[in-house]
Amino acid sequence: MVRVARDIRVLALVSWPADSEATFLTAYAAGNAKPPVIEYPKSDFHATIAELEAIVLECDPQHPLGQYIIDSARSWTTAARMCEVLGTPHVCTYSKDLYGAPNEALPGSGPTAREAARHFISIADELDSGLLSPSESVTISATALRLQLQNDLDDFFNRRVIEVELDPDLIAKAAAGATRIRLRASANFSQYDRAQLLNHEAFVHSLTALNGREQPVLPSLSLSSPRSTATQEGLATFAEQITGSIDIGRMKRISLRIEAVAKALEGADFIEVFRFFIDAGQTPQESFSSAQRIFRGVPTTGGHAFTKDTVYVRGLVGVHTFFRWALRSRKLPLCRYLFAGKMTLADVQRFEPLFEAGILLPPRWLPPWLTRINGLAGMLAFSLFANRIRLDSIADEGAFLLDF
């Protein structure tokens, strides 16, 4: 499965040409912009799909490893089929199967991802930007950030394990792999960006890949499987939250993308989604990058979307709930096992006896916030209790006027 899945590089195949931003923004400034037309590579994964289907037939669904391989192989099969039809409306259907959609309920039969997104957008819009301290408004260059992150990572590993590089062709501001973090050379970053990159990209995405490589039985735990995306992004966003690295602006950006996915599914084309981000306060360059994420792999004329950005809020809610459940159930070691490779929340629960038996190895590297398990337990214990207090009742009763 590892051998055949390596060729199914979803994000690389749906990526847009580096010059598409400049072309569109020039036309937009001149008043004659049209939705971009992107030519995607033609892929034939029939042999890969056949091999993945054969793997499924060989596995025992009654065994935790067998169920993991079945679920993973089927996920890679869906991703392969999606990559074969890039540029067509069919991508949207496969994307929903892999990543979900904005109007699906969050874990625990809660509100939808879109409702949660609108909640965060509303709060962000109500907050006065003047609350930012001067130090929070200072930006640093990609070159300076590269040096800072490289020093942070070298100190963490006590040697060079992850290389931080500048990439002039990167559309996103940053991207992470097991041993490399790339920064867009032309981008400017804030101190929040530095903390987010360290805790989200390096200490989750890179560490889970590196720890997965250490597994002698299940090396596929080093791969970013489509089915593990929600848990991985949720864990990474939870890491931002638990370390105080996430700011309300970041929550707004994540939420705007979810709302934009919903708008695209309802018929908005690329230009309408681009203007939605402009109206939300993003620069033209940021708006293009945001809109481009929504239309990766699908027609830009409206009615379809690449729905991956919906996983961030759903994953965050799922992981936060899982950590609270683990504390209540006296299973906090499961939270550490989540870093032993790229897996889902269901995987780590099924794998518990395999970790205890030594078949699967515990993570070699853990982020600093998870090594201090007592501090994490304290925060989660308070969260469990505080959620029992109804904020609306306190406000209605005027309890805040009392002397606590």
| DSSP codes of every residue in 324-375 | HHHHHTT-THHHHHGGGSS--HHHHHHTHHHHHTTSSPPPS---HHHH-HHH
CA atoms within 13 A on the CB side of 270: 23
Cα–Cα dist 138/274, whole Å = 26
Paired strand residues for 174:
183
138: Cβ–Cβ under 8 A, 6 or more apart, which residues?
190, 191
Structure tokens at 65: 């490893």
Place of tokens 């408004």: 137
**233 or 106: whose pLDDT is higher?**
233
Q: What is the pLDDT of residue 396?
A: 55
Q: Domain map of the chain by residue range?
A: 2-138+190-377
In tens, the pLDDT along 226-271 reads 999 999 999 999 999 888 888 888 889 999 999 999 999 999 999 9
| DSSP codes of every residue in 88-101 | STHHHHHHHHHH--
Q: Would you say 110 and 321 are in contact if contact means Cβ atoms under 8 Å apart? A: no
Is residue 394 scored above 70 in pLDDT? no
The pTM score is 0.88
Q: What is the pLDDT of residue 401?
A: 46
In this prediction, residues 144-170 reach a mean pLDDT of: 93
In tens, the pLDDT along 303-318 reads 999 999 999 999 999 9
In tens, the pLDDT along 165-189 reads 999 877 678 888 889 999 989 888 9
One-letter amino acid at 245 equals S
Q: What is the pLDDT of residue 402?
A: 47
Q: What is the pLDDT of residue 377?
A: 72
Strands of 163-167's sheet, edge to edge?
163-167, 180-184, 174-176
Cα–Cα dist 82/94, whole Å = 6
In tens, the pLDDT along 337-388 reads 999 999 999 999 999 999 999 999 999 999 998 887 677 777 777 766 766 6
